[in-house]
Structure formats: C-alpha cells, structure tokens
C-alpha cells in the first residue's frame, strides 16, 4: 500500500510551496487507494505556534484535502524518541559528545582558516575516559566515515553522496534531551508506515542523514521524490510579493479551492497539454514520475484564468453561498440568477465578483469625471428624460429584454445610435463607463431604482 504524508512545521502559516507538495502526496496516495497522513512537526517549542498549526488544518479543510487517521503531533512523542536514542546508545551506534560550544566554535574557526569543510572531528566517537565536568552532552550518531549513500529519487534519479563529503557524526539529541529534526522525521515516517516521501528539493541535503538513521535502526527506506522549487517570473525564489503567502490569503482574495489546486498541480507536473483538471482527473492521472526536473514558474495570470473558468462554471446557488464571505446575502434575492449571470463572465475572483455586485445594487454616490465629460453632453439629458418617461409609463418590466425593448424605442423615435442612450444611461446607473449589460442591470435593480438613478444624475450634472 502506498502511504504518503505531509509534515509541516507550525512556525508559520501554510504557504503555496508546502501546499503543492501536500497536494502531490495526497493525489499519489488516492490514486493508489493508499493513505495520506498529516503530521505536525512541532518539536521546536521556541518557534512553534498553535495558531499556525490550527491554520494548516483549516487550510486542508477549505481545500478538501482530507487526510487519513488522526493528526500526529511530534511534541506528544518525546518518550518514543527517547526510547530510540537509548537503543542506539546501547547498541554502540550513537554516543555522548562532551565538546563544549566554545571548543566546537574553535574547531570550526581552525577548519575555516585551513579552508577545510567545517565538521565535528569525532573527538568523542570512541571516548572511554572520564567525561569533563559541567558539560551536558549532546547525542551524536556514528555516521559512515567513507563510502557512498545513494538516494533513489523518483524525480531526479539516483543521487550519490560521498559520506566523507557530506556527513559527520551529526547530533540526534540536544543537551536538553530534545531530539533533532532528521532523527524524528526518520522515526515517524517509519512508525507511520510511510512508503513514499514527496517533498521540496530543499530537503535533499537532509536525505542522506535520514538514511543513516534508517539504516542504524534497521528501518526500511521509503522512496523519495524531491520536487524542484517554485520560482517567480525572474527565475528567483518565490517571495510573498510573488505569491508565497498564507494559503488562506488566497481564500480572502477570492480564489476557489478548485482553481488553486488545479493551478498548483500544473506547477511542475503535466499530463500532455491538458490545463484544466477536475478533482477526479487529478486523482486518476497524477504520477510523480511526470514531475518536471526543473523549477516551475509561478504565473498569476494563469491562476486568474483558471479561477475565472471555475467561477463561470459554478452554479449560481453555490456562487451565492461563496459570496457570503463578502457580506452578500443573495440566496433569496429575487433577481439572483440575472445578477450572477450578468457578472460571472467578467470576474477573475470572487472578491472582484462581490465588488461588481455591490456596484450594481448600490446607488452611485460618485460619478467618474471622465465618464461624465464623455457621456453627459449634447442631447444626453434629453435622451435620459425620454427613457425615464418610457420606464414610468411601462406596464410590465421584469426581464432584461423588457428594458432593452424600451431602449430600442427611444433610439428609433429619436433617430439616434444606441451609444447615444447607452453611454449616459451607464453613467447614471453605475457612475462609470464600464460594467455588465444595461438591460440586465435595470432588471436587477428594478423600475423604481432605475428611475431614481436617472433622476440623480440629471439633478447633479444637468
């Protein structure tokens, strides 16, 4: 059975790069009818935040990335880690190191002066004497002194590390007894039954150390897939300005879960030329062997395009519920269908869509000056008065076509082009020159509001 995991550290909120590796891990487990597990790596008590841990879980709920089983919190597993520390000490595979911080700093300075790689020199590796007083020891593992460590990577192929170049006897427990990152990761992946690890290639340098832990404890080594980073348009590391922000900020900006996940699955993975994937298609088609070996480029325009696609294809009842987060209560609005149909083709985000709704349903309190100068000149007020009279006299006005018919009558009777009524009327209704179809706007706001807005613009600018 394929078992994958996502294991964030709650020192900050879930960001877009972390979400992508979580998505890849989730899809690969689901494709293989396996398990996708969630582990919170909160052993760094000084930097951890419960709010950040809760935010990660909330982001998963919003996106629909359901995990299997209970969430594992590393902070609750100290006794487990201590047991494995004792095992390695008893088996002679780890040892207590009494080198003080001052000695270690002096050693590094000497190595740097000699242009050598800075590393622990193994002083206490086979120590049998009397420990120095006043030094709380760290625990170091006995790493291989020579030979090779091979990482079998599903993205990059086999990667060979020379032990003497990358390893020293690294610390697996600090002086206060707390275990280190690489140690607990290897133990938890084993105990949770993880068979494949999909993560960013910034973790690649940790992998040889984790393999040393696996082998020292006699654990099976999972298959690794190290995913290249996401870069900005300039090919540099993604920053908050580029989009590397809290995942929940994307919800606030008005992106849908479907669009965000579709966008992320195509950042570094492909299936032919297909761009739009349903959730079922992602689960069916994803395979880490098709992850690109080069970094992917974050493109906001692509995300906006995908989001607009999903907005256009979302039923209006669902859109109305999504817009509630912006204070819009449209579920029981009698013109909900006309209103949402009028703007869903124009909006890139739900937030923009909400703004467009407010522009329609709110009486203008400000008129764009350039629009006024362009549209409210010549016989504009005569045209508006004529149209207002038509509305007042009409018996039945419900559908956009009803209002369009009245506009056509004014055009025909006054012998003018449609722009002669369209431009001044648009300024009257919306306060600017852009917006959805005027007939739809009037059908949404109704007869009385339409007449009020016409009267307002005439009173203020005639």
Domain containing residue 277: CATH number: 3.40.50.620
Highest mean pLDDT out of 111-125, 184-198, 323-337 = 184-198
Confidence of residue 238 (pLDDT cuts 50, 70, 90): confident
Please give the tally of structural domains in the chain.
Answer: 3
- Look at residues 130, 155, 173 and tell me which one is the last residue of a structural domain: 173
pLDDT of residue 119: 85
Across the chain, mean pLDDT equals 93
DSSP per position, 51-93: HHHHHHHHHHHHHT-PPSSPPEEGGG-HHHHHHHHHHHHHTTS
Nearest to 22 by CA among 199, 272, 160, 152: 199
Q: Looking at the predicted structure, is the pLDDT value of residue 178 above 80?
A: yes
A 10 A CB-CB count for 232 gives 17
- Look at residues 313, 334, 369 and tell me which one is the last residue of a structural domain: 313
Give the span between the Cα atoms of 362 and 388, in whole angstroms.
Answer: 19
307 and 324 belong to one structural domain:
no
Q: Looking at the predicted structure, is the pLDDT value of residue 91 above 90?
A: yes
332 and 410 belong to one structural domain:
yes
334 and 411 belong to one structural domain:
yes
347 and 367 belong to one structural domain:
yes
200-234 confidence digits (pLDDT tens): 999 999 999 999 999 999 999 999 999 999 998 88
Q: Looking at the predicted structure, is the pLDDT value of residue 56 above 80?
A: yes
456 and 356 belong to one structural domain:
yes
Give the span between the Cα atoms of 292 and 268, in whole angstroms.
Answer: 5
b vs e for 427-449, b when ≥16 Cβ sit within 10 Å of the residue's Cβ? Answer: bbbbbbeebbbbbbbbbbbebee
Is residue 214 situated within a structural domain? no
pLDDT of residue 266: 96
Is residue 184 situated within a structural domain? no
pLDDT of residue 49: 72
Nearest to 423 by CA among 412, 415, 411, 413: 411
Nearest to 198 by CA among 260, 273, 290, 279: 290
- The CATH number given to whatever domain includes residue 353 is 1.10.10.350
348 and 271 belong to one structural domain:
no
124 and 259 belong to one structural domain:
no
A 10 A CB-CB count for 244 gives 16
Q: Looking at the predicted structure, is the pLDDT value of residue 46 above 80?
A: no
pLDDT of residue 152: 93
Which H or E run contains 398? none
Q: 240 among the known binding-site residues?
A: yes
Among 50, 162, 240, 312, the active-site one is 240
Is residue 358 situated within a structural domain? yes
Q: Looking at the predicted structure, is the pLDDT value of residue 333 above 90?
A: no
Is residue 206 situated within a structural domain? no
Looking up tokens 């300024």 gives: 427
Highest mean pLDDT out of 14-18, 104-108, 399-403 = 399-403
Is residue 219 situated within a structural domain? no
Q: Is the pTM of this model over 0.85?
A: yes
Q: Looking at the predicted structure, is the pLDDT value of residue 316 above 80?
A: yes
pLDDT of residue 242: 73
pLDDT of residue 83: 98
Q: In terms of residue numbers, what domain contains 26?
A: 1-68+228-313
Q: Looking at the predicted structure, is the pLDDT value of residue 244 above 70?
A: no
342-394 confidence digits (pLDDT tens): 999 999 999 999 999 999 999 999 999 999 999 999 999 999 999 999 999 99
436-445 confidence digits (pLDDT tens): 999 999 999 9
% of the chain beyond a pLDDT of 70: 99
Q: Both tokens of residue 113?
A: 């002066």
Is 45 an annotated catalytic residue?
no
103 and 53 belong to one structural domain:
no
pLDDT of residue 437: 93
């Amino acid at each position: 059975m394929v078992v994958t995991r996502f294991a964030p550290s709650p020192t900050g909120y879930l960001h877009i790069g972390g979400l992508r590796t979580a998505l890849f891990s989730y899809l690969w487990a689901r494709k293989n009818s396996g398990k996708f597990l969630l582990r919170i790596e909160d052993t760094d008590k000084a930097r951890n935040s419960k709010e950040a841990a809760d935010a990660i879980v909330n982001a998963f709920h919003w996106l629909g990335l359901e995990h299997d089983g209970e969430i594992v919190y590393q902070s609750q597993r100290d006794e487990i880690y201590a047991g494995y520390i004792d095992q390695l000490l008893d088996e002679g595979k780890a040892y207590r190191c009494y080198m003080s911080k001052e000695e270690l700093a002096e050693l590094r300075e000497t190595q740097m002066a000699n242009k050598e790689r800075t590393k622990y020199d193994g002083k206490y590796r086979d120590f049998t004497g009397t420990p120095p007083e006043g030094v709380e020891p760290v625990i170091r593992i006995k790493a291989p002194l020579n030979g090779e460590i091979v990482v079998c990577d599903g993205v990059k192929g086999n990667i060979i590390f020379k032990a003497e170049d990358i390893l020293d006897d690294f610390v697996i427990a600090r002086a206060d007894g707390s275990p280190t990152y690489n140690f607990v990761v290897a133990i938890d992946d084993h105990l949770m039954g993880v068979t494949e690890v999909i993560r960013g290639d910034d973790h690649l340098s940790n992998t040889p150390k984790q393999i040393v832990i696996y082998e020292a404890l006699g654990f099976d080594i999972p298959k690794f897939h190290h995913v290249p980073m996401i870069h900005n348009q300039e090919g540099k590391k993604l920053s908050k300005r580029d989009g590397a922000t809290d995942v929940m900020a994307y919800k606030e900006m008005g992106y849908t879960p479907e669009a965000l996940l579709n966008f992320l699955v195509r950042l570094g993975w492909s299936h032919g030329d297909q761009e739009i994937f349903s959730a079922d298609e992602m689960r069916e088609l994803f395979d880490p062997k098709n992850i690109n070996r080069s970094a992917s480029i974050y493109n906001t325009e692509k995300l906006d395009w995908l989001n607009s696609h999903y907005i256009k294809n979302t039923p209006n009842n669902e859109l109305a519920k999504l817009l509630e987060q912006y204070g819009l209560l449209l579920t029981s609005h009698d013109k909900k269908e006309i209103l949402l149909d009028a703007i869903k083709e124009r909006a890139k985000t739900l937030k923009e869509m909400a703004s467009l709704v407010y522009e329609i349903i709110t009486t203008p309190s400000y008129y764009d000056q350039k629009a006024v100068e362009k549209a409210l000149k010549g016989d504009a007020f005569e045209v508006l008065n004529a149209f207002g009279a038509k509305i007042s006299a009409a018996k039945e006005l419900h559908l956009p076509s009803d209002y369009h018919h009245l506009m056509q009558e004014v055009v025909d009777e006054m012998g003018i082009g449609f722009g002669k009524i369209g431009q001044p009327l648009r300024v009257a209704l919306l306060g600017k020159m852009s917006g959805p179809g005027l007939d739809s706007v009037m059908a949404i706001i109704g007869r009385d509001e339409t007449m009020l807005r016409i009267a307002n613009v005439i009173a203020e600018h005639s």
